[in-house]
Amino acid sequence: SSFQRMLKFVRDLVNTFDIGTTKIQVGLQTYSSGTNTEFNLNFSHDKTDIMNKIMDVNYTDRTSTNTGGALRYTRTTMFTSAVGDRPGAANVVVLLIGNQSDNYTNTANQAKAIRDLGWTIFAFGFDAFLGEELNE
């Protein structure tokens, strides 16, 4: 399935990272109409733990694609000191998308808010993804 391909892609990507408390940290969220934290940046600094947790993520029925909401959640919840964000550390958002977002304008606005903070967004599309709104 596309979801399993996405998880394998994320696991393989994380496998290339130098994970550590002063190195790369990884958090994971999933989204549809709402957003769910699978694990935060401070979950673990052990690569094997992280890769196993990635592959344990369950697919839930995706009835909508609220990409803008997910980006807002990333900016306001995932990248905070309370869950492991470090001052001065580069913040990089890797976004895996299976469908076109439900709200082009909201997604474009949220992507711009992230870029305005100096963060980087990498978007990878699976299935029916165009993603122009991330570059607005």
Length of the chain as a residue count: 136
Fill in the DSSP letter of residue 63: -
Q: DSSP code of 75?
A: I
Q: Which two tokens stand for residue 59?
A: 């697919």
Q: Would the pLDDT of 97 be above 60?
A: yes
- Higher-pLDDT residue of 76 and 60 is 76
Per-residue pLDDT, averaged over 85-106, amounts to: 89
Instruction: Find the mean pLDDT for residues 78-96.
Output: 93
What percentage of the chain exceeds 90 in pLDDT? Answer: 65
Q: Are 103 and 133 in contact (CB under 8 A)?
A: no
The answer to whether residues 71 and 98 touch, using CB atoms and an 8 Å cutoff, is no
- Residue pair 38/29 in contact by the 8 Å Cβ criterion: yes
Confidence of residue 27 (pLDDT cuts 50, 70, 90): very high
Quick one: the chain helix, strand, coil %, rounded to 5?
40, 20, 40
pTM: 0.87
Residue 3 pLDDT greater than 70, yes or no = yes
Mean pLDDT of the chain: 89
- Reduced to 3 states, what is the DSSP secondary structure of residue 136? coil
pLDDT of residue 73: 95
Instruction: Determine which of 45-49, 90-94, 132-136 has the lowest per-residue pLDDT on average.
Output: 132-136
Q: What is the pLDDT of residue 128?
A: 57
Render the burial of 33-62: b for 16+ CB within 10 Å, e for the rest: eebeeebbbebbbebeebbebbeebeeeee
